[in-house]
Amino acid sequence: MTRERSLAILAIAFVAGVTVCAIVLASDHQEAKAAFAIFGPAVGWGFVATGVWAWNREPENRTGMLLVALGFAWLLSTLEASNSALLYTIGLTLGGVWGAVFLHLGQSFPTGELDTRLDRGIVIAGYVIFPLAFAPAMFFASPEQLDCPGCPQNLLFVERNDELASALLVLGPALYGSLFLVVLVRATQRWRRASPFLRLQLTPVYATALLTFLLVVVAKAGAGDAAWWAAFIAAWLTPFAFLGGLLRSHVEHLVVELRASRARLVQAGDAERRRLERDLHDGAQSRLVALSLLLRAARKRADGDAGVAELIDQAQGELQTSLGELRELARGIHPAVLSDRGLEPALEALASRTPVPVDLAVEAAELPEPVETAAYFVVSEALTNVAKYAQATHASVAVRQVNGNVTVEVSDDGVGGADAAHGSGLRGLADRVAALDGTLALDSPAGHGTRLHAEIPFG
């Protein structure tokens, strides 16, 4: 939304609020004029200002637009204070639209979209019930029956019928109450299904919105001015609750983007590891193997010269050592068996190279590549530490898939005392696992072995 449009909306809201203030102060039937003259515009301005801010910040989200509409609908409802029969009738009927917009806003928060047919049905019912629930009674009710003996006669009045008016006046609160119960059940369902972070957004919004809704129902049922004042205060607090929810939504978006960027960095790193492993395998390793074959051929031809044969044997030995080190380096960068055959064979190869006996249990189906790679390196780092520092006689590795999570646990019976804060390898693992929204925990009491537990979500 352009700056000019924002300023125009705020200017119109200001003029509307000042007009409402003047109408309230001139009213012949409005009680507590000074309070209503201040409080009525303040609530409307709060919604409009919050809505303009939200609309500018997230133009594609309808929440800002609905907040602006709610502010103007609220200002429209204060026309009930007018001495003009026309304005009074408009305020008495169409003024209820603010409740419908309020309901629409709550049902669609925080995206501004109504996701299900049920939500759309509830909102449509609100746009019918809030402005029209009391309209039938207005055809037959006198100002005294509408609990406002000093008010002008509404323009919908046809003839006085006390019995029919009384019955129809009961219908309005009944419709309000029924709709409130439906909204309460639906809000509870949405809240319970929401993620923990989304609940932080929804809780203050639902609390203030439902409280305001309930207080309006009670006030419409004839609870008096105290209920209306409580409803006004709750309504005044509501835009701040929506503002807080929108700010939390923005924070959640940043968190999601941060997690996604971290995951992309991990994937890019793994892709580079695979490229380096292939380059070493197809390039340097292949050339060293070819050189080893040449040395063998030279050794056969040098059988008559003991000195040359000995030098070739030494060169062959050094070459084999270098080739072994290069293979270990390539395997440490990214094991080819992991890409070619999967996690379980790769872990079996790791276990076979560990100098202590390792019990291996893998109960996981095919996993996403980043998760599979992370699980492999968790086990690799843990077994490397077992071999170097643990002084263990036995180790165990368990990889299991449970409810959309992969758990990796490596334990040993060594001396314990491991500290993740002083190990760059474990810190790197923790970062890799955290980039996939996983957790890494180390339990290593001195003298009682070490247990490394990782949990990585996938799907």
pLDDT digit string, tens, across residues 177-206: 899 899 889 988 988 888 777 777 778 888
Instruction: Please identify, in words, the CATH class of the domain defined by 3-259.
Output: mainly alpha
- Where helices occur in 27-154 by DSSP H, the ranges are 33-57, 63-77, 85-93, 97-108, 117-132, 135-138
C-alpha 240: how far from its chain's center? 20
CA torsion sign for 257, 263, 269, 271 is: negative
Q: Are 16 and 45 in contact (CB under 8 A)?
A: no
Pairing of strands 395-402, 358-363: parallel
Q: Which residue has the tokens 């292949």?
A: 286
First to last CA, the chain: 38
One-letter amino acid at 151 equals C
Which H/E stretch holds residue 412? strand 405-412
β-pairing, 439-443 vs 450-457, is antiparallel
pLDDT in tens, the chain (459 residues): 788 999 999 999 999 999 999 999 999 988 778 777 887 898 899 889 989 988 988 888 888 999 999 999 999 988 889 999 999 999 888 888 988 998 898 888 888 889 899 999 999 999 999 988 888 999 999 888 888 888 999 999 999 998 898 888 888 888 988 998 998 899 889 888 887 777 777 788 888 888 887 887 787 666 766 777 787 777 777 787 777 777 766 666 766 666 666 666 666 666 666 666 665 556 666 666 777 777 777 777 766 666 777 777 777 777 777 666 666 555 555 576 777 788 888 889 889 988 999 999 998 877 888 888 888 888 988 898 898 888 899 999 999 988 888 999 999 999 988 877 666 577 778 877 888 888 899 998 888 899 999 999 886
pLDDT score for 360: 93
Q: What is the pLDDT of residue 283?
A: 61
CA–CA dist 412, 426 (Å, integer): 16
Residue 106: which of 94, 95, 117, 114 has the closest Cα? 114
Taking phi over 0 as left and psi of -120 to 50 as alpha, with beta for the rest, 455 belongs to: beta
Helix 33-57 with 3-26: angle, nearest 10 deg? 170
CATH of span 341-457: 3.30.565.10
User: Which residues contact residue 225 at a Cβ distance below 8 angstroms, ignoring those fewer than 6 apart?
Assistant: 31, 32
**How many Å apart are CA 210 and CA 109, to the nearest integer?**
13
Which has the closest alpha carbon to 384: 426, 346, 326?
426
Q: What are the backbone dihedrals phi and psi of residue 60, each rounded to the nearest 5 degrees, phi first? A: -75, -10
The predicted structure's pLDDT at residue 85: 92
Asked whether 63 and 246 are in contact (CB, 8 A), the reply is yes
Three-state DSSP at 58 gives coil
- What's the pLDDT score for residue 258? 67
Q: Is the CB of residue 281 less than 8 Å from the CB of residue 340?
A: no
Cis peptide bond upstream of 110, omega within 30:
yes
Q: Where are the domains positioned within the chain?
A: 3-259, 341-457
CB 145 within 8 A of CB 172: no
Q: Is the pTM of this model over 0.85?
A: no
For 247-284, write each residue's pLDDT tens digit. 766 666 766 666 666 666 666 666 666 666 665 556 66
Q: What is the DSSP letter of 394?
A: -
For residues 258 and 232, the answer to whether their CB atoms sit within 8 Å is no
